[in-house]
Amino acid sequence: MSAPLLTIEDVAVELPTPRGNLRAVDHVDLSLEAGRTLGIVGESGCGKTMLSRAVLQLLPKKAKLTGRVMFDGQDLVRLPSESLRRLRGRDLAVVFQDPMTSLNPVLTIGTQLMETIQEHLELDAPAARKRSIELLAAVGIPAPEQRLAQYPHQCSGGMRQRIAIAIALSCEPKLLIADEPTTALDVTIQAQILDLLAREQRRRHMAMIIITHDLGVVAGRADEVAVMYAGRVVERAPTQALFKRMHMPYSEALLAAIPKLETAPHTPLPAISGRPPDPTRPLKGCSFAPRCRYAASRCHEAKPDLKSAEMPDHLYACFYPIQMAEGIGA
Amino acid sequence: MLNFVVRRLLAILPVLLAVSLLTFLIASLLPGDLAYVILGDQATPENVAALRRDMGLDQPLWWRYLSWLGHVLQGDLGRSFRTGQTVLQAVAERIPVSLELMLMAEFIGLLIGVPVAIACAARAGGAFDRFMTGSAFAMLSMPSFLVAILLIYLFAVELHWLPATGYVPFTEAPLANLRFFVLPALTLALAEWPGIMRVLRSDMIATLQEDYIALAKAKGLKPARILFVHALKPSSLTLVTVTGINIGRLLGGTLIVESIFALPGIGRLLVGAIYTRDLVILQGVVLLVACGFVIVNFIVDMLYAVLDPRIRHGHA
């Protein structure tokens, strides 16, 4: 096993709000090796985007970040801003959720691609232009040369997300963070974009973090999945192991909330009842306990640690893990 | 794009018509009969009636408006009954002064306002931002005559750096001409920059929250490029509007500043016309100034399209 490309160590993010400090990310540990894919799954407000912004060092100014983010041997949290700037866009790239707002409306697509290339690679304008055209072609944009002179509003949503991906790929990053890359897109486009990301990842041998609320998105695409709830990682396992047996009731509930083809029409979806806890008022016990149908009194008293049981790489934070495989009792 | 220009031009026509009607009504509905003004207190009723007939003042209002508009459309805005000068001559003589004053004031205003706004927005809520926002507010609440007097006191009376009042044409003595303009332009600019700064600052702060700025940071672009290329352009629409309105307003001359600094511009021409009840000049000058204002705003609309491609392509 090689040394991980990215190690998130005990990262916590607190945001001051009028109602007190909001703990958006609550002491998360994660690691990712070069060329591998990590899926981070959780519902809105679980802290998955804040965690990705913590890695990118793009948190709101008032946010307080503790812990370490080791990337390629450097702690991004303590890196001077100029070194960080040289790293971003070159080794560390990101694709945001909404391609309608993530591209600058007043700059041409060519400008937005070429400025990244010219900032980090020593290429003159014609070479950067040539590379931009290649990149656009690689992400499946027809007539890439004409696109360079166009503005984002002249492209469809799917097209814009492809352009955003081309920008992210432009300097051959070691790590690509895709923050809900398909949430804002039509269903028909979603699979195309995810396949594009997977293909380019394999081709360029880069590591990737896919952040999503949809377990289905990571199912066939991530090597490892981390399920987040209320700022914490509550279950973490290799993708196959996770889908084979989920130990944390929240993961199970997330999976159950995905509509299935075989379900009869008009069957209500098993939605997760209740709402996530108020992040400004941390609970004493397990943060999922109030919504958990398996919760016992112990769950309200103490927080379960993230630990493994029978499989060393399958971690979960639950006192009463559910076991889907036969023969293992609770 | 051409379509956009034509649409904008067509939209101007009714505005210009309304402007002409309003200027005509303002001048015509002022109390006091023009014939009495011209003839003075020695006028006999017969003289007055004859003059009114000569000038068409006995005609109904709508007829007088149409015949005035007809003349205006042929380029004849009338002539002063006092000096015999036509409106166009009078304006042509004064406009270089107001134009120069406007350009200098707007230039200084932008020179102060834009960098301050960018610096404030880059560190919104910081010490510099709070200090400059406070200063801008203080400046905004100072009347221009007070600023003018303070500037004259400081730079003309105490330091003897600049002349307090006066004017020479640029063609005669360029340097002396510029020296005469510094204080009046500065007076206006000190009132202009707070508006420029506040508008651009708040737009910049909003723009800096945008996703595409976060992406620009994530792309590892230099902070200066993010501020000036990615944030300034999409934030400058309101700034262009405000600058356009300022230019339009200053184009019409500035009554107070031109009077204090004895600059023979449009403002002084208007004041003179009001004092002497020279209604033909008043009406003509107001019409021309209003047209200038409309044209400047048309240019502002065109600038929007330059700044924002979505407007150019009819998406917004």
- φ/ψ region of A292 (left if φ > 0, alpha if ψ in -120 to 50, else beta) reads beta
Chain A: nearest CA to B219, how far in angstroms?
A: 4
Instruction: Give chain A's domains with CATH numbers.
Output: 6-101+174-258+270-316 (3.40.50.300)
CA distances from B261 to A111, A148, B104 (A): 48, 54, 15
Whether the per-residue pLDDT at B234 is higher than 70: the answer is yes
List pLDDT tens digits, range A34-46.
999 999 998 888 8
Write the DSSP symbol of residue B251. H
Higher pLDDT among residues B112 and B12, named by residue: B112
DSSP state of A215: H
Q: Is the dihedral of CA B38, B41, B42, B47 positive or negative?
A: positive
For range A225-250, the mean pLDDT? 89
C-alpha span between B253 and B97 (Å, rounded): 9
Distances (CA, A) of A149 to A110, A129, B233: 6, 11, 18
Q: Do A101 and B210 touch (CB under 8 A)?
A: yes
- The pLDDT tens digits for B104-147 are 999 999 999 999 999 999 988 899 999 999 999 998 888 888 99
Inspect the interface and report whether the beta carbons of B220 and A87 lie closer than 8 Å.
yes
A113 to chain B: nearest residue by CA?
Answer: B219
- Using CA coordinates, name the residue in chain A closest to B310: A153
Helix (H) or strand (E) run with residue A226 in it:
strand A224-229
Residue A329 in this model has a pLDDT that exceeds 70: no
Distance in Å from the first CA to the final CA of chain B = 13
Query: Worst-scoring range by mean pLDDT, A262-271, B97-106, B287-296?
Result: A262-271
Any B CB within 8 A of A115 CB: yes
The residue of chain A nearest to residue B215, with distances taken between CA atoms, is: A102
Strand ranges, E, within B62-199: none
Q: What is the pLDDT of residue B315?
A: 57
**Chain B residue numbers touching A86 (CB-CB < 8 A):** 220
CB contact under 8 A, B218 and A87: no
Measured between CB atoms, which of B212, B223, B310 is closest to A102?
A: B212
DSSP class per residue in B180-230? HHHHHHHHHHHHHHHHHHHHHHHHHHHHHTSHHHHHHHHTT--HHHIIIII
Contacts of B220 in chain A (CB under 8 A): 85-90, 116, 119-120
Query: Best interface-test mutation with A: which of B209, B213, B215, B311 has the largest number of A CBs within 10 A?
Result: B215
> To which residue do tokens 């895709």 refer?
A178
How far apart (Å, rounded) are the C-alpha atoms in residues B175 and B170? 8
CA B312 to chain CA centroid, nearest Å: 26
* For residue A313, pLDDT beyond 90: no
Closest-CA residue of chain B to A171: B219
d(CA A203, CA B183): 66
Q: What is the 3-state secondary structure (H, E, C) of A41-108?
A: ECCCCCCHHHHHHHHHCCCCCCCEEEEEEEECCEEHHHCCHHHHHHHECCCEEEECCCHHHHCCCCCC
**What DSSP string describes A240-308?**
HHHHH---SHHHHHHHHTS--TTSPTTPPP-PPPS----TTS--SS-TTGGG-TT--HHHHHSPPP-EE
Q: Show residues of chain B in contact with A102, CB under 8 Å.
A: 211-212, 214-215
Interface contact flag, B307 A106, Cβ < 8 Å = yes
- A225 touching B (Cβ < 8 Å): no
Residue B245's pLDDT band, with cuts at 50, 70 and 90, is confident
- The arrangement of secondary structure in B87-308, i.e. its CATH architecture, is Orthogonal Bundle (1.10)
Q: Which residue does chain A place closest to B229, by CA atoms? A: A107
Of the CA atoms within 13 Å of residue A67, those in its CB half-sphere come to: 22
> Are residues A56 and B309, on separate chains, in Cβ contact within 8 Å?
no
- State the residue for tokens 């620009």: B216
Per-residue pLDDT tens over the stretch A19-36: 888 888 989 999 999 999
| A60 → chain B, closest CA residue | B209
CA B104 to chain A, closest CA, distance in angstroms equals: 29
Confidence of residue B206 (pLDDT cuts 50, 70, 90): very high
Return the DSSP state at B79.
B
Q: Test B225 with A98 for CB contact under 8 angstroms.
A: no
A105:B214 CB<8 A = no
pLDDT category at A327 given cuts 50, 70, 90 is: very low
User: Which band of pLDDT confidence, cut at 50, 70 and 90, is reported for residue A143?
Assistant: very high
As a whole number of angstroms, the distance between CA A139 and CA B29 comes to 70
Q: Note if the pTM is more than 0.90.
A: no
A133 reaches B (C-beta below 8 A): no
Encoded tokens for B92 = 């042509």
More confident residue, B46 or A68: A68
Q: What whole-number distance in Å separates Cα of residue B45 and Cα of residue A11?
A: 96
For B252-268, what is each residue's pLDDT tens digit? 768 888 888 888 989 89
The CA distances from residue A119 to A59, A185, B200, in Å, are 22, 30, 27
Report strand pairing: A92-95 vs A74-75.
unpaired
Query: What's the complex ipTM?
Result: 0.87
Stretch among A255-269, B90-104, B175-189, B298-312 having the lowest mean pLDDT: A255-269
Which residue among B214, B218, B234 places its CB closest to the CB of A89?
B218
Q: Which residues of B touch A110 (CB under 8 A)?
A: none
- Whether residue A71 contacts residue A6, with contact meaning beta carbons closer than 8 Å, is answered with yes
Q: How many CA atoms lie within 13 A of A23 on its CB side?
A: 19
CB A164 within 8 A of CB A95: yes
Measure the CA dihedral B135/B141/B144/B147, to 10°.
Answer: -40
Q: In chain B, where are the structural domains located?
A: 2-73, 87-308
Consecutive H or E run containing A212: strand A207-212
Q: Quick one: pLDDT band at residue A2, thresholds 50, 70, 90?
A: low
How far apart CA B201 and CA B192 sit, in angstroms, is 14
Residue A241 and residue A312: Cα distance in Å, rounded? 11
Phi, psi of A307 (to 5 degrees): -145, 170
Contact B149, B261 (CB under 8 A): no
Report the 10 Å Cβ neighbour count for B277: 16
Mean pLDDT across A226-242: 91
Residues with Cβ within 8 Å of B135's Cβ and at least 6 positions away in sequence, in order, are: none
- Give the count of beta carbons closer than 10 Å to the beta carbon of residue A88: 25
A101 touches chain B (CB under 8 A): yes
- pLDDT for position A147: 93
Separation CA B153–CA B139 (nearest Å): 17
Contact present, A225 and A242 (Cβ < 8 Å): yes
Mean pLDDT of chain A: 88
The interaxial angle of helices B279-307 and B2-29, nearest 10 deg, is: 160
Q: Residues with Cβ < 8 Å from A192, sequence gap 6 or more?
A: A140, A158
Of B217, B309, B313, the CB nearest to A106: B309
Helix, strand or coil, per DSSP, at residue B262: coil
Lowest mean pLDDT among A163-172, A258-267, B125-134, B270-279: A258-267
